[in-house]
């Protein structure tokens, strides 16, 4: 073994950082396993922990050597602390902290490997572990999504042309009074100046009520208006592209019509998925219905079913019961509420149906 004079302090460094790296990976693994219900990602964390142990064994160091070098009571660093250590407001913050500790620890292990056995490739394996950790951190934190991610019960899509009995603004007020917890501004024929003005007005009105505001398609308008989120379709900017633009400033929703699209949304870090089309819609022509069977697939898919969803298309007071029976936790409607003579009552009835309460 090279540099024998440094063996004891180097072994202490190796021991401390191996423990730190394994602890960090275990936190990340548990979040993937218990929070995201993601078997693949949690297995990848576990595999990396085992690879790390293998790297250390390749150095000719076993547990007895590490335990013999350990001196926790004499470690001058055990009482070092800073105020940021207690600041973990979200699971994402917990994961970010764990991932940072892993990256720092594995780099120290890599350098220790060069000291102990510069003649073997263990330090290169440690380097690859570090790169693998970076990728797992990326995947895990994207899948956790926005800290404000939540399951809405009723989202009303506001389109002025569908509001046949009152203005779009009156429909928005009625929807909130009726219990809707999300309003989505969906206007494709309004110019940018007017769209931004409407979005800002909705945010100012809805936020004191605890109601989210989402802008359809336009991440730029959503950001400028201070909206809660943006919703994109399969032909719009991808979730990954929007996240690159908006960071964590916006919740990102995406329309999905099959389980492959839902898996991609999961991997890209979507905060909510539109799940549909469920039924024939009077608002837009749909080439094919995904139906309740797709909702059932969505809810059963590991790592996907935990993502908030909104079943959409053709939902009314008659067919909503089939969605609730399948496990649906949220719905999005448009013309049913926008074209109603009593939008508030329509929303109340939908909320009752979602709660399983008889009318």
Question: Contact, 230 vs 219, CB < 8 A?
Answer: yes
Q: Is residue 57 part of a domain?
A: yes
Split into its structural domains, the chain has a count of 2
Q: Are residues 264 and 132 in the same domain?
A: no
Q: Is residue 359 part of a domain?
A: no
Q: Are residues 123 and 262 in the same domain?
A: no
For 1-28, write each residue's pLDDT tens digit. Answer: 444 444 489 999 999 999 999 999 999 9
Q: For position 31, which CATH number holds?
A: 1.20.1260
For residue 281, the model assigns a pLDDT of: 83
Q: Which pTM does this prediction carry?
A: 0.88
Q: Which of 186, 198, 243, 349 is catalytic?
A: 186
186 is annotated as an active-site residue: yes
Residue 212, phi-psi category: left (phi > 0), alpha (psi -120 to 50), beta (remainder): beta
Cα distances (angstroms) measured from residue 222 to each of 38, 141, 200, 238: 31, 23, 9, 15
Q: Is residue 308 part of a domain?
A: yes
Q: Are residues 191 and 129 in the same domain?
A: no
d(CA 170, CA 189): 20
Q: Are residues 229 and 87 in the same domain?
A: no
Residues 6+ apart with CB under 8 A from 139: 41, 267
Q: Are residues 47 and 94 in the same domain?
A: yes
Q: Are residues 248 and 335 in the same domain?
A: yes
Residue of 177, 266, 176 whose CA lies nearest to 213:
176
For 330-358, write each residue's pLDDT tens digit. Answer: 999 999 999 999 999 999 999 999 998 65
d(CA 186, CA 195): 9
124 is annotated as an active-site residue: no
255 is annotated as an active-site residue: yes
Domain that holds residue 60: 4-144
Taking the chain (359 residues) in runs of 10, the rounded mean pLDDT of each run is: 56 95 97 91 96 94 88 84 76 94 96 89 94 96 93 98 96 98 96 98 98 98 98 96 96 98 96 97 75 97 93 96 97 97 98 82
Q: For position 282, which CATH number holds?
A: 3.20.20.70
Q: Are residues 128 and 158 in the same domain?
A: no
Asked which of 110, 144, 178 is the last residue of a domain, the reply is 144
Q: Which of 12, 198, 255, 313 is catalytic?
A: 255
Where b means 16+ CB within 10 Å and e means fewer, 188-217 reads: eeeeeeebbebbbebbebbeeeebbbbbbb
Q: Are residues 163 and 302 in the same domain?
A: yes
For residue 275, the cross-strand partners are: 256, 311
Q: Are residues 212 and 297 in the same domain?
A: yes
The total number of residues shown for the chain amounts to: 359
Q: Is residue 234 part of a domain?
A: yes
Q: How far is CA 356 from the centre of its chain?
A: 28
Residue of 250, 253, 256, 311 whose CA lies nearest to 278:
311
Residues 6+ apart with CB under 8 A from 137: 28, 95, 96, 99, 102, 103
Q: Are residues 135 and 222 in the same domain?
A: no
Q: Are residues 188 and 125 in the same domain?
A: no
Q: Is residue 342 part of a domain?
A: yes
């Amino acid at each position: 073994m090279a540099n024998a004079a440094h063996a004891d302090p180097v072994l202490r460094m190796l021991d401390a950082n191996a423990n730190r790296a394994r602890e960090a990976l275990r936190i990340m693994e548990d979040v993937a396993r218990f929070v995201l219900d993601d078997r693949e990602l949690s297995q990848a964390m576990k595999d990396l922990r085992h690879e790390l142990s293998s790297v250390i064994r390749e150095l000719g160091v076993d547990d007895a050597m590490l335990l013999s070098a350990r001196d926790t009571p004499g470690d001058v660093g055990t009482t070092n602390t800073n105020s940021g250590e207690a600041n973990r407001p979200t699971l994402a913050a917990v994961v970010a902290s764990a991932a940072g500790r892993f990256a720092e620890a594995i780099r120290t292990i890599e350098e220790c490997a060069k000291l102990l056995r510069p003649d073997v490739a263990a330090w290169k394996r440690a380097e690859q572990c570090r790169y693998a950790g970076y990728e797992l951190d990326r995947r895990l934190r994207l899948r956790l999504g926005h800290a404000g991610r939540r399951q809405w019960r009723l989202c009303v899509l506001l389109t002025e042309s569908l509001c046949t009995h009152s203005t779009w603004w009156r429909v928005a007020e009625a929807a909130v009074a009726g219990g809707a917890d999300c309003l989505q501004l969906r206007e494709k024929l309004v110019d940018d100046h007017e769209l931004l003005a409407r979005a800002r007005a909705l945010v100012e009105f809805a936020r004191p009520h605890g109601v989210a505001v989402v802008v359809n398609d336009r991440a730029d308008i959503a950001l400028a208006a201070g909206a809660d989120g943006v919703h994109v379709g399969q032909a719009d900017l991808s979730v990954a592209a929007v996240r690159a633009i908006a960071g964590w400033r916006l919740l990102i929703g995406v329309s999905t019509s099959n389980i492959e699209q839902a898996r991609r949304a999961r991997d890209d870090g979507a905060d909510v998925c539109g799940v549909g089309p469920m039924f024939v819609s009077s608002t837009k022509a749909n080439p094919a219905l995904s139906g309740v069977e797709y909702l059932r697939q969505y809810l059963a898919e590991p790592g996907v079913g935990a993502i908030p969803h909104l079943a959409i298309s053709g939902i009314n007071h008659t067919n909503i019961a089939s969605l609730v029976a399948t496990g649906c936790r949220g719905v999005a409607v448009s013309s049913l509420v926008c074209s109603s003579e009593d939008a508030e009552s329509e929303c109340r009835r939908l909320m009752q149906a979602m709660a399983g309460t008889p009318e």
